[in-house]
Each structure stands twice: as C-alpha cells, then as structure tokens.
Amino acid sequence: MQWLTRMKIPKKSLLLLSGIPAAGKSSFGRYLAREYDFAHYDLECYPRGWPHRDLKPIWESSRANFVAQLKVLHERIVLDWGFPATHVPWIKELLATGVRLVWFTADIDHARKLFEDRGGIDVNFFNDQVRAIQRDGLPNPLPCVKVEGLTDAGTLRDSSEIFREVFAA
C-alpha cells in the first residue's frame, strides 16, 4: 500500500467509468469518492447519484457545458455511466473536453450472475446492453484504459488494484 501514498493523482482528474454492466464501475466510483475525494456522479441514478442535481438540464443539452461546470465545482470528478451504444456521439463530446474513459471489461456470464444477484432491474436490460456493446465493437474505436472489473471467480476486483492500473496508464 506504500505506493498508494506516493502515487500522485492529477489535481484536475476527470474520468468516465463505463463498460460491461455489473463489472464494478459504481463500486470503483464510490471508492474514488471515499478514498481520494472525487466528486462521484452516477449518471444513471438521478437525482440520488448527483452531488449537484441542478446540472441535469445542462447534461441533457450540452456535454461540453456540463463538463465546464463540473470543472468549476470540483477538482477531481468521476462520472459513472454504462451508456447505451447509441450514445457514442455523446462520449466523443465528453472525450473532446478532456474526459478520460475507463472501460470495465468482464466475463459476461460472471457479470450477468452479479447483475441478477443484485436484483432490481430485469436481466433483459443486461442482455440487451451487452448485445449492443458486442454488435458495435465497443469500446473500439474510443480511446480508453481497459480494466478487468471481475476476478476469475466472478467477484469484484479490489478497487486499489484497479486504481493502480488506471493511474499508472
């Protein structure tokens, strides 16, 4: 753990966590908020997952203006969004503003099991999302850091390991 205390996180960090559903995006976002003082916006959980709920109309109208406002409010920001494949143009808008995409990969069967176990959302949502990701070849051609979100046993990886991969890249 000594390397964590020496590792420097850029003061103006802005990450977008995306990828396979149930691969650990939200867990890692909460870890960054708790351990490193990132403002964590779970874009799929409005209003509960938004530190500044008033930004929702800006998000919907302009990703560039949304990011500009985030940068005024926070030094370190993590956006958590398992975006629909149809929203790749929005991701490109975010990337153009300096957002860094972190793509969570996972064994599909393990991720589906975790998705089903947590409940609350029909598993068909998972299946449709994964099909769209595979059909469109995501995350290609988007520039990103790819991290494996699950262990070989199908459990979430330790966030400190993912942290090292993200910030060493």
Total of domains in the chain: 1
The better pLDDT of the pair 103, 11 is held by 103
The pLDDT tens digits for 57-106 are: 999 999 999 999 999 999 999 999 999 999 999 999 999 999 999 999 99
Mean pLDDT to the nearest integer, 47-54: 95
Mean pLDDT to the nearest integer, 7-25: 92
Q: List all residues 6 or more positions away from 23 whose beta carbon is below 8 Å from its beta carbon.
A: 104, 105, 106, 111, 149, 150
pLDDT at residue 97, as a whole number: 97
Residue 13 domain boundaries: 2-168
pLDDT at 48 over 50: yes
Question: How far is Cα 99 from Cα 117, in angstroms, rounded to an integer?
Answer: 32
Instruction: Tell me the CATH number at 36.
Output: 3.40.50.300
Where is average pLDDT lowest: 10-14, 107-111, 120-124, 158-162? 10-14
The pLDDT tens digits for 106-152 are: 999 999 999 999 999 999 999 999 999 999 999 999 999 999 999 99
Question: How far is Cα 164 from Cα 125, in angstroms, rounded to an integer?
Answer: 31
pLDDT at 34 over 70: yes
